[in-house]
Structure 1
Amino acid sequence: MDVDWKLAARIARSTAGQAPASVAPAILQERADAARDQVVAATGLVPAGALPTVEWVDRGAWIDANLRTMRSTLGPVLDRAPSTGGPAALQAAVSAVVAAEVGGMVGMFARRVLGQYELDLLDASVAPRLMLVGPNLDRAATELKADRDELVTWVTLHEVTHAVQFGSVPWLRERLGGTLRELLSALDVRPDPRALLRLGVDDLKAWAGSVREGGLLGAVMGSERRLLLDRVQGTMGLVEGHAEWTMDHAGAGVLDDVEGLRAAMDRRREDRPPLLRILDRLLGIDLKMRQYAEGRVFCDAVVEARGTDGLRDAWAAPELAPSKAELAAPAEWLRRTAPAA
C-alpha cells in the first residue's frame, strides 16, 4: 500500500494552523548545556558524547521531523500490505484516507507539543534531535499563567533528561529498537475488505472512523508477543518514570515553583506523541499515563531502599531493567536484584 506522505504533510500543516512567529529565549543553548549538567548531577548518568544542539522550531519543522520518523518506522509495514486489487481510483482513495488519518493526527499534536527528543529507534544513522516548539511554548505560558523562562527551562530539562538517558545507556536504544523491529516484522497488515468496497464520500468518512478504531491494521502474532510487549512496557515505564523523578530533583535548584509547573503540565499530558499512539494501535501496547506514574513510584521506592546509586543500577544492563510487573511492584524488582549476601 502506497501512502501519500506529501498529502499527509499538507493535511498536518493545515490541521496545525498558523501560529505567530516565536523568538527563541536568549542563551538557549547555554540553558540546555546547564540542563545537561543538572541531569547528570541528579542521576549519575553521563552521556558518552555530546547531546544534540537544542533547536527552537515552529510547528511545520516539528511536523516534518515526526513524519520523517513515522515514514521510516511504519513505511515498511504499510508497504507489505497487499494491493486492494481494485481500480486505481479505489487504491488512491485508500492511500488518501491513510494519509488523512496520519496527517490529521500529527497536525493535532503539532498544536500542543512543547518539546521533543526525537529519536529514530530503527535507524541509528539518523541523528537524534532536541526540539522546542516556540509558538506552543509561548501560548502555553499564557494559558498556564506561567513564567515563560521557567516553562522553557522545565521543558528543556525534560527533553534533555531523555537525551541523557539514551546517550548514557548503551543498550537502551537497541533494546527498544530491536523489540520494535521484531514486533513490526510480525505484523500482518491488511485493509478492511468491507471498507475497500466503498467509494462514496460518506463511506470513506466512515472508513476513516474505522481506522481510528484500529480497523485498517491488524496484528497477528504468536504468544511470544506478550514477552516482547512486557519488555518494552517495562523499559518505557522506566524511561518515563525516571524522567519524572529526575525533573523534580534536577529542577529543584533552578526553578522557583517546581510543584506548580508540574501540576500545570500534568493538566496538559493527556496526549501522547503521534507515532507512539499509532504503535499503540498496531501492537496492542497499553502504555498509559498510569504506567508512567508507576515508573515514578518505582524510582522513588528504589531510591528510598538503595539510594540514587541503586536507581542507577536499573540502567546498568538490559536484564536489570524492570519488567512491567516489577514496575508496578518495586519490591519484586528489589528482591530480584538484591546483592548476593
Structure 2
Amino acid sequence: MSRNEPAAPRPQLVNWDVAASTAASLTPAGPTMAPADIARAVQNMRELADASVGHVHAISRLDAARDLRDSELLVVDRATWSRANSQSFRTLMEPALDQLAASRPEVLRSASLALGGTVTGAQLGAILAFLSSKVLGQYDPFVPSRNGQGGRLMLVAPNIISVERELNVDPSDFRLWVCLHEQTHRVQFAAAPWLKDHMTSHIGQLTSGLMDKADTVSERLGAAVRNIAAGRARARGERPAVDALPSQEVGVLSILQDPDDKARLSHLTAVMSLLEGHANVVMDGVDGSIVPSVKTIRRRFNARGKSRGPLEKVIRQLLGLDAKMRQYSDGSRFVRRVVSQTGMEGFNAVWESASHLPTEREIHAADEWIDRMSLRRHG
C-alpha cells in the first residue's frame, strides 16, 4: 500500500449502523395520539422534569441539585431511544477497540469478524428494540449533551403514556414521579463529578476483556438470541426450532467469564445497585404534597410487574433483567439502612470519592460500609 493510500477500514466487532437500524426497524409503535395531544404531553414532561430538580434537592440534600442546568433534556420516541443507546454503547466500546487495533491488529483483520460484527449488530439491535418499549426514562452520562457539559436525560414519551394509561393514574402525577427518579441519576453524577470517568474506566476494562474474546462474542450473543426465540416458542406452546442452553448460561452478561472480568462486573454491579437504590429511596421520599396520588401510583406500579405475560418473563430472564431488578432492591435496602443509621448527610459521604463506593458485599451488609467509613450511628 502506498503512503498516500488510505488505510482499509478495520472490521467491526459490532456493526453499530446495523445495530441502530435494526433497533429502529424492530421497535414496536407507541400509543396512537393526535399531534396536538403529543405536543402537549411533551411540553408537560419538559416542565415536570425541570420542576423535579428542586424536589430532588430537598430530599437528597445534595447541593449539586440546586438549580442544576448541566444536561440536555430529550423527550424521545422508542426508536430514538434505541439509536441513542446504540451510540452510548459505541462511545463506551470504541476506546477498547482502538486499543485492540494497536495491540492485536491480527484479531481485527479476520474476514469472519466483519461478518460476525454484522450479526452481532443485528442481535444488539433486537435487544435494544425489546427494551425500547419498557424503559420510561434514562440518564446517560457517557454521551455528552450538545452544550458539552453534562450528559443526556431522556424521557421515553410513548412508554410513559402507555404505563400511565395502563395504571389509570393521573398523568401529571405519574410523569413527575418518573422525572424524580431520572433527575436523581443526573444529580448523582453532578454530586460526584469523578463518577463518570470512574465508571467509564471500569466499563472500558470490561470491554477490553471482551475484546480479548472477540472470536466468541458473536457466538455468545447468538446463543442468547436463540434462547429468546426458544422461549417465545415455549410461550406459544410450541416445540423450539433451536436447542436452548440451560437458563443460567444464556444471559447476555455470560460473555464475561474470567475472574478479572467477574471482579470488574461485581464492582459495577455494586455501583449500579447504589445508583438505582438511591434513586428509589428519593422517589420513596416523595409524599402527597409533591405528587398527590403517589400512594396509588406506587401500589399500582409495583403490582404491574406481577402481571407480566409468560413471553416477557422468559425474555427478561434471558437478558438478566430480573436479576438486575433484584440488585436494585438490594441497593434500596443498603441506602435505607445507611440513612436510618447515619442520616442522609452520613450517606452522602458516598459521593465524595471512588474509595467511598460500597463493594458488592457491602451492598448486602450496609453496617460494614458504615464501619469502614467511620460514620457515627444514631441512637
TM-score normalised by structure 2 residue count: 0.71
Q: Deviations over 1:147-187 (max 9, x none)?
A: 22122111111110100111111222222122212222233
Distance of aligned partners of 1:336 and 1:168 in 2 relative to their CA distance in 1, 3 Å threshold: same
Could you tell me which residue of structure 2 aligns to residue 274 of structure 1? none
In structure 1, the partner of 2:283 is 247
- Tell whether the 8 Å contact from 1:13 to 1:60 is kept in structure 2 after alignment: yes
Q: Give the match for residue 100 of structure 1.
A: 122
Partner of 2:55: 38
- Does 1:326 find its partner at 2:337? no
SS of the residue corresponding to residue 107 of structure 2 reads coil
Structure-1 separation of matches of 2:202 and 2:218: 32
Query: What CA distance in whole angstroms lies between the structure 1 residues aligned with 2:81 and 2:118?
Result: 22
Would the aligned equivalents of 1:190 and 1:217 in 2 still touch at CA under 8 Å? no
- Cα deviations by residue, 1:21-45 (Å, 9 ceiling, x for unpaired): 5334345443222211110111111
Distance 1:159 1:305, change over 3 A: same
Superposition pairs of residues 1-341 of structure 1, within 5 angstroms: 1-2=11-12, 3-19=14-30, 20=32, 22-25=38-41, 26-47=43-64, 50-75=69-94, 77=96, 80=100, 82=107, 85=110, 93-120=115-142, 127-187=150-210, 188-192=212-216, 213=250, 218-219=255-256, 221=258, 223-225=259-261, 227-266=263-302, 267-268=304-305, 288-339=324-375
Q: TM-score scaled to structure 1, two decimals?
A: 0.78
SS at match of 2:64: coil
Amino acid at match of 2:88: T
For residue 329 of structure 1, report the CA deviation from its aligned partner: 0.9
Q: Quick check: 2:137–2:178 contact (8 Å CA) kept in 1?
A: yes
Task: Answer yes or no: is the 8 Å Cα contact 1:51–1:164 preserved in 2.
Answer: no
In 2, distance between residues paired with 1:262 and 1:327?
24
Structure 2 residue matching 1:50: 3-state secondary structure: coil
* Cα pair 1:314 1:320 within 8 Å, conserved: yes
Contiguous gaps of at least 5 residues in structure 2: 1-10, 101-105, 220-225, 230-240, 313-317
Structure 1 stretches lacking a partner, 5+ long: 196-201, 272-276
| Displacement of 1:233 | 2.3
Q: Closer, same or farther in 2 for the Cα pair 1:73/1:126, shift >3 Å?
A: farther
Residue deviations 1:38-97, cap 9 Å, x none? 1011111122852424322112221221111112223455674935845xxx66643332
Mapped partners of 1:71, 1:138: distance in 2: 29
Name the CA distance, whole Å, in 2 between partners of 1:340 and 1:137. Answer: 41
Gap change, CA 1:217 and 1:137, over 3 Å in 2 = closer
Q: Which amino acid aligns with 1:32?
A: A
Aligned CA-pair RMSD: 3.9
1:179-217 deviation line (CA, Å, top 9, x unaligned): 21222223312324996xxxxxx9xx999988x937999
Compare relative contact order (CA 8 Å, sep 6+) and give the higher one, 1 or 2: 1
- State the secondary structure of the residue aligned to 1:55: strand
Moved more, 233-242 or 40-49: 40-49
How many Å apart are 1:252 and its aligned residue?
4.6
- In the alignment, the residues of structure 2 paired with residue 317 and residue 254 of structure 1 have an alpha-carbon distance, to the nearest angstrom, of 32
Kindly provide the CA deviation profile for residues 215-244 of structure 1, in whole angstroms up to 9, marking residues without a partner as x. 9995465x4545433432222211111111
What count of residue pairs does the alignment treat as equivalent? 320
